[in-house]
Amino acid sequence: MTPMPPTAHEKILEVSDVSVTFGRVVAVDGVSLEIHRGEIVGLVGESGSGKSTLGRAILQIVRPARGSIRFGGTELVGIDPEALRRHRRDLQMIFQDPRGSLDPRMRVAAILAEPMVIHGTHDRAARRARVAEVLDIVGLRADVLDRFPHQLSGGQAQRVAIGRALVLDPVLLVADEPISSLDVSIQAQVINLLSDLRAELGIALLFIAHDLAVVRHIADRVAVMYLGGIVELADKRRLFEHPLHPYTRSLQSAVPVPDPKRERTRTRIILEGEIPTPDNPPPGCALSTRCPLRASLGGPDRCTAERPPLRQVHPGHAVACHFAEAADGPAPHR
Ligand SMILES: Nc1ncnc2c1ncn2[C@@H]1O[C@H](COP(=O)(O)OP(=O)(O)OP(=O)(O)O)[C@@H](O)[C@H]1O
Ligand code: SF4
Ligand SMILES: [Mg+2]
């Protein structure tokens, strides 16, 4: 395969001010995010911060209470089911538990062919040819075709799930913690596979992960979520070397560094207290109850009075903190 040059700056996804609620729980609270063709965006945050809900909202598996999601120029919020079905070909999702996301009663051959059957895109011969192609792309041998999901290893099952998502040539893949349930020994292989999909097929990726270390090598840009909101968004390099939001600085300080000497002297920034629940978020800034920067500034009232908007502090670097400039300086470690 010849590498496809990514068409620079072509926005394929524009999420604007999206909120998703479940009763009193505001799982996603006014999120805006863009993804360009062939771009890999990492979405990082601790459990319950709303990452999966945002991913599901992009696919319209959950319907936002507010906001706009434009995909390839089409508004997806409120779209009628038939039009959504057509767009769903270009927009696919893979999940943390690959076996749970594959139909246990279907053999791999049928699982991979199913999207083509549902969308009526290929005749029988073309389906077989496409299944063989996809199998090759995801690095599986033809002998898996007759197996059921429970007869696959975790890594094989995730490759099948990725293959199923690829069959109809998507433009964007939302990968929700695709390696968390896999053995450490095969996590890197799946990361490399996803990275190759971008390089060889030009597929854009929203890669959801718990911690920064996972997205370190694969992402072009990284968005950090805390309690339903994006608190920092920047080019990966900038985010790792120059994190400005106190929450990002804490996450970044938890990433081990390869140099043993620097690893020994690494200082960790530990946030005190528990993450508040999204049915009762603190007023003003979501981090105000545990923010080390706020504490070091003597607890300014502005943090609890006013919600900090995500604002650009440097080209391509946005932070949701009233006092981001006060945190400026080198990363807790590099
Ligand atoms: N279907 C649902 N019904 C009610 N509440 C939900 C539902 N889905 C998610 N939530 C709540 O919304 C919030 C965000 O959940 P979400 O699963 O999006 O977080 P996450 O960042 O993906 O977490 P994790 O890292 O654990 O996967 C949580 O408080 C969760 O309990
Ligand atoms: S606005 Fe205040 S509480 Fe929020 S991150 Fe900045 S300093 Fe901390
Ligand atoms: Mg999740």
pLDDT score at 1? 43
Which residue ranges in the chain fall short of pLDDT 50?
Answer: 1-6, 334
Question: Nearest C-alpha to atom 16 of ligand 1 is from which residue?
Answer: 50
230 CA to middle of ligand 1, Å?
15
Instruction: For residue 291, give the ligand 2 atom closest to its CA.
Output: 8
Kindly identify the ligand whose nearest atom is closest to the C-alpha of 300: 2
Any residues with Cβ below 6 Å from ligand 1, and which?
Answer: 22, 25, 27, 45, 47-53, 210, 278
Burial code (b: 16+ CB inside 10 Å, e: under 16) for 144-183 equals bbebebeebebbbbbbbbbbbbbbbebbbbbbbbbbebbe
At 306 the pLDDT is 97
At residue 35, φ and ψ (nearest 5 deg) are -130, 135
Alpha helical stretches, state H, the chain: 51-58, 81-88, 108-119, 124-137, 154-166, 184-201, 212-215, 236-241, 246-253, 260-265, 292-296, 302-305
Q: CA of 311: how far to CAs of 73, 234, 307, 315, 320, in Å?
A: 24, 11, 12, 11, 6
Per the CB < 8 A criterion, the answer to whether 242 and 303 are in contact is: no
pLDDT of residue 9: 76
User: Which of 293, 306, 328 gets mutated to test ligand 2 (max ligand atoms within 8 A of its CB)?
Assistant: 293
What pLDDT is attached to residue 2?
43
For ligand 1, atom 1, the nearest C-alpha belongs to 22
- pLDDT at res. 330: 59
* Tokens (6 digits) for 180: 């968390």
pLDDT digits (tens, 9 = 90+) for 82-102: 999 888 899 999 999 988 889
Residue 329 has a pLDDT of 61
Q: Which residue ranges does the chain devote to CATH 3.40.50.300?
A: 11-219
Tens of pLDDT, residue by residue over 27-70, are 999 999 999 999 999 999 999 999 999 999 999 999 999 999 99
What gap in Å lies between CA 159 and CA 139, rounded to an integer?
8
Q: Taking the complete model, does pTM exceed 0.85, yes or no?
A: yes
pLDDT at 268: 85
Query: How far is ligand 1, taken at its centre, from the CA of residue 48, in Å?
Result: 5
Which CATH number is correct for 11-219, 3.10.129.10, 3.30.300.20, 3.40.50.300, 3.40.50.2000? 3.40.50.300
Kindly give the distance from the C-alpha atom of residue 48 to the centroid of ligand 3, in angstroms, as a whole number: 7
Helix (H, G, I), strand (E, B) or coil at 178: coil
